Amino acid sequence: MGNQDRAGPATQRFLQILSVSASSRVLAIDPSLRCTGYAVLERAGRKTASVTYGTIKNSPGMLPSGCLVAIHEKVRELIEQHQPDCAAFEAVIFVQSMKTAIILGSARGAALLAAAQRGLPIHEYAPRRVKQGVVGHGGAQKGQVAFMVRALLGLTETPAADAADALAIGLTHLQAIESAGRGAIVLSQI
């Protein structure tokens, strides 16, 4: 029996975090039925770079079921093309409308399924934590997030709001990996 087999739950969790911390490429998703933001970020040493980012746009006339298929297919294509080590998602947020919650949950589920089918470790981050990590305060506006993402990654253009949110989720995940490596934070994995 190896040392990992005899390790307690806390030690096993720490070893799991260390294995994830070796990840250098993350797929980040900000789910929405009509405009899902995505980003692939890569960390090499202390340098983080954007590999790709954008939005999955579904027309207003498209049936919700068609939107879900489009989200799933595009996320699957991104995974195949860019071979990320893990995926990071915006966590479920509180919404006052049951209909909105169901729509967001469906879009999130379509993207989560694509990542889960490929066996990617999936991590989630609350919107306030993402804003805190990128801008410095959890109540930041979308424009502030986009501006900081552009500055942090050295982008030549300010990304659209949903793509900027996905980039911010990816940056937050990479910060969490770095902090976990120093023993500061346990990653939130689903």
Q: Decide: 29 and 38 in contact? Cβ < 8 Å.
A: yes
> Distances from the Cα of 95 to the Cαs of 37, 49, 61, 98, 99, in angstroms?
19, 33, 24, 7, 9
- Per-domain boundaries in the chain: 25-181
**According to the model, what pLDDT value does residue 9 have?**
52
- Rounded-to-integer distance, Cα 68 and Cα 123, Å: 21
8-state DSSP, 83: -
Assign 120 to helix, strand or coil. coil
pLDDT band at 182 (very low <50, low <70, confident <90, very high): low
- For 94-124, what is each residue's pLDDT tens digit? 777 888 888 889 999 999 999 999 999 999 9
pLDDT at 21 over 50: no
**According to the model, what pLDDT value does residue 56 have?**
98
Packing angle of the helix pair 9-21, 161-181 (nearest 10 deg):
120
So which residues are the catalytic ones? 30, 90, 162
Arithmetic mean of pLDDT, 35-54? 95
Pick the CATH number of 25-181 from 3.30.750.200, 3.10.270.10, 2.170.190.11, 3.30.420.10: 3.30.420.10
> Distances from the Cα of 62 to the Cαs of 44, 67, 100, 156, in angstroms?
40, 7, 17, 32
> Distances from the Cα of 144 to the Cαs of 96, 137, 161, 166, in angstroms?
25, 10, 10, 14
**According to the model, what pLDDT value does residue 13 have?**
45
**According to the model, what pLDDT value does residue 20 have?**
45
Assign 88 to helix, strand or coil. strand
Q: Which of 130, 133, 48, 137 is nearest to 90 (CA)?
A: 130
